[in-house]
Structure 1
Amino acid sequence: MTAVRHHRPIEPTAIPDDAYVLPGHLTEGRTDRGPRFGDNVWDFRPFVPRTAEHVRCDFTTLPDEIAVATAKEYLYSRLRRGTAAGQSGRKNDRPMKITAAPPALTMIKAIMQTLRELGVTRLADVTTEHLAAALKIWMNASVGTALGYVSAVKHLSTQGPFLSRDRLTVPAWPGRSAQAVVGLHRDRETSTPRIPENICAPFIKAALFYVETASADLLTARRKIESLQAARAGGRLPLGEVKQRLQAFVEERRAAGRGLPALPLQQARTRPDAAIIDGVVQAPNRRLISLLAGVVPPIRPYRQLLEDAGAELGYEEGGLDTPLSIWPDSGHPWRTPLSPWSVHTELAHLRTACWSVIAYLSGMRDAEVRELGRECAFTEPGADGRLRRKLRGRVFKGRQVTGDEAEWVVLEPVHRAVEVLLQLNDDPSHLFGYHGGSQRKDGYVLLSNMSKRLKTFRDHVNELFSIPESLFIPHEAATGDDEDGTTNDDDMPWDFDTRQFRKTLAWHIAHQPFGIVAGARQFHHAKTIMFEGYAGTSASGFAAEVAAEEAVAKLDYLEDLYRDWNDGGRAGGGAAQRIDAEFDRIRRELGDLPGVVASPARLRTMLRHLTKVLHPGVLNDCFFQPAVAVCAKRAKPLGGRPLPMINMCSVCPNARRTTVHLPRLRLARDQAGEALDGSAELPPLQQIVLTNHVNDFDQLIAELQEDGAPCA
Structure 2
Amino acid sequence: MLPAYIAAACASRGPRFGDRVWDVRPFVPRSTRLTRVDFGLIGDPWQERTVREFLYSRINHASPVGRSRTARPMKLTRLQREFWLARTVLRDLAAAGAPRLADAERRHLDQVLAGWKQSGSAAERAGTLKHLAAHGPFLTDALAITPWPGRTAAQVTGDPRSGENSTLRIPERITAPLIQAAVFYVTTAAGDIIAARAEVAALRHAREAAPVKTRGQARAAVEALIARRRAAGRGVPAVPARSAHNHRGAPVADGIIQAPNEKFIALLAGLRWTTRKHRDLLAAAAAELGYEAGGLDTPMSPWPVTGRPWRPGMDPAAVHTETSYLRTACWIVIAYLSGMRDAEVRELGRDCAFTEPGADGRDRFKLRGRVFKERRLSGDEAEWVVLDAVHHAVNVLLQINDDPTHLFGYTSGPGVTRARLIGKMPERISEFAAHANVLFSGPGELFIPGQPGGDGGNAGEAAPWAFTTPQFRRTVAWHIAHQPFGIIAGARQYQHAETAMFEGYAGTSSSGFAAEVAAEQATARLDYAEELYRDWDTQGPSGGGAAKTINTEFARIRSELADLPGTAAGPARLRTMLTHLATTLHPGVLGDCFYRPGQALCADRAQPAGEPLPMLNTCLHCPNARRSGKHLPRLQQARDQARDALTAAGRRALPPLQKAALDGHLNQLGQLITQITHAVPAAPENPDSNRTPSR
TM-score by length of 1: 0.88
Any conservation in 2 of the 1:259–1:310 contact (CA below 8 Å)? yes
1:622 aligns with 2:593: yes
Question: Hey, what does 1:651 align to over in structure 2?
Answer: 621
Any conservation in 1 of the 2:10–2:27 contact (CA below 8 Å)? no
1:343 aligns with 2:319: yes
Q: Distance in 2 between matches of 1:405 and 1:686?
A: 52
Question: Hey, what does 1:420 align to over in structure 2?
Answer: 396
User: Residue 271 of structure 1: CA displacement?
Assistant: 3.1
User: Residue 307 of structure 1: CA displacement?
Assistant: 5.0
Any conservation in 2 of the 1:592–1:598 contact (CA below 8 Å)? no
User: Residue 245 of structure 1: CA displacement?
Assistant: 2.2
1:455 aligns with 2:435: no
User: Residue 517 of structure 1: CA displacement?
Assistant: 5.3
Of the three residues 11, 20, 30, the one matched with 1:50 is: 30
Q: Distance in 2 between matches of 1:136 and 1:315?
A: 64
User: Residue 180 of structure 1: CA displacement?
Assistant: 1.7
Any conservation in 1 of the 2:347–2:407 contact (CA below 8 Å)? yes
Q: Distance in 2 between matches of 1:463 and 1:587?
A: 53
Written as runs of structure 1 = structure 2, the 5 A alignment for 1:238-387 is: 238-253=214-229, 258-303=234-279, 306=282, 309-310=285-286, 313-387=289-363
One-letter identity of the residue aligned with 1:588: S
Q: Distance in 2 between matches of 1:103 and 1:28?
A: 24
One-letter identity of the residue aligned with 1:139: K
Q: Distance in 1 between matches of 2:624 and 2:630?
A: 17
Of the three residues 42, 60, 71, the one matched with 1:62 is: 42
Any conservation in 1 of the 2:352–2:368 contact (CA below 8 Å)? yes
Written as runs of structure 1 = structure 2, the 5 A alignment for 1:574-585 is: 574-585=545-556
Structure 1 505/707 Cα, relative in aligned 2: closer, same or farther at 3 Å?
closer
Question: Hey, what does 2:583 align to over in structure 1?
Answer: 612
| Per-residue Cα deviation, 1:330-358 (whole angstroms, up to 9, x for no partner) | 11000011111111110000000111111
1:176 aligns with 2:154: no
Any conservation in 1 of the 2:543–2:679 contact (CA below 8 Å)? no
Structure 1 666/181 Cα, relative in aligned 2: closer, same or farther at 3 Å?
same
User: Residue 41 of structure 1: CA displacement?
Assistant: 1.0
One-letter identity of the residue aligned with 1:393: G
| Per-residue Cα deviation, 1:394-417 (whole angstroms, up to 9, x for no partner) | 111111111111112221111111
Of the three residues 492, 496, 517, the one matched with 1:519 is: 496
Any conservation in 1 of the 2:177–2:494 contact (CA below 8 Å)? no
User: Residue 90 of structure 1: CA displacement?
Assistant: 5.2
TM-score by length of 2: 0.90
Any conservation in 1 of the 2:335–2:472 contact (CA below 8 Å)? yes
Deviates more, 1:655-664 or 1:120-129: 120-129
One-letter identity of the residue aligned with 2:529: L
One-letter identity of the residue aligned with 2:357: P
1:510 aligns with 2:484: no
Of the three residues 203, 206, 210, the one matched with 1:228 is: 203
Question: Hey, what does 1:660 align to over in structure 2?
Answer: 630
Percent identity between the aligned chains?
51
One-letter identity of the residue aligned with 1:694: L
3-state secondary structure, aligned to 1:526: coil
User: Residue 173 of structure 1: CA displacement?
Assistant: 2.6
User: Residue 303 of structure 1: CA displacement?
Assistant: 4.5
Structure 1's unaligned 5+ residue stretches are 1-20, 481-487
One-letter identity of the residue aligned with 2:133: S
Written as runs of structure 1 = structure 2, the 5 A alignment for 1:489-500 is: 491-500=462-471
Q: Distance in 1 between matches of 2:43 and 2:363?
A: 61
User: Residue 289 of structure 1: CA displacement?
Assistant: 0.7
Question: Hey, what does 2:672 align to over in structure 1?
Answer: 700
Q: Distance in 1 between matches of 2:154 and 2:343?
A: 27
1:140 aligns with 2:118: yes
Question: Hey, what does 1:591 align to over in structure 2?
Answer: 562
Of the three residues 80, 86, 102, the one matched with 2:60 is: 80
Q: Distance in 2 between matches of 1:410 and 1:452?
A: 25
Question: Hey, what does 1:16 align to over in structure 2?
Answer: none
Structure 1 683/516 Cα, relative in aligned 2: closer, same or farther at 3 Å?
closer
Question: Hey, what does 1:156 align to over in structure 2?
Answer: 132
1:602 aligns with 2:534: no
Any conservation in 1 of the 2:47–2:87 contact (CA below 8 Å)? no
3-state secondary structure, aligned to 1:527: coil
Of the three residues 13, 19, 40, the one matched with 1:33 is: 13
Structure 1 448/127 Cα, relative in aligned 2: closer, same or farther at 3 Å?
same
Q: Distance in 2 between matches of 1:361 and 1:434?
A: 23
User: Residue 567 of structure 1: CA displacement?
Assistant: 1.1
Q: Distance in 2 between matches of 1:398 and 1:227?
A: 47
3-state secondary structure, aligned to 1:332: coil
Question: Hey, what does 2:691 align to over in structure 1?
Answer: none
- How many residues align? The count is 666
One-letter identity of the residue aligned with 1:125: D
Structure 1 181/377 Cα, relative in aligned 2: closer, same or farther at 3 Å?
same
One-letter identity of the residue aligned with 2:107: E
3-state secondary structure, aligned to 1:42: strand
One-letter identity of the residue aligned with 2:538: D
Of the three residues 510, 527, 533, the one matched with 1:556 is: 527
Q: Distance in 1 between matches of 2:81 and 2:384?
A: 30
One-letter identity of the residue aligned with 1:604: R
Q: Distance in 2 between matches of 1:475 and 1:81?
A: 48
Of the three residues 84, 87, 97, the one matched with 1:106 is: 84
Q: Distance in 2 between matches of 1:343 and 1:435?
A: 15
1:402 aligns with 2:371: no
Question: Hey, what does 1:124 align to over in structure 2?
Answer: 102
User: Residue 120 of structure 1: CA displacement?
Assistant: 4.2
Structure 1 90/449 Cα, relative in aligned 2: closer, same or farther at 3 Å?
farther
1:542 aligns with 2:513: yes
One-letter identity of the residue aligned with 2:148: W
One-letter identity of the residue aligned with 1:460: H
Q: Distance in 2 between matches of 1:176 and 1:314?
A: 75
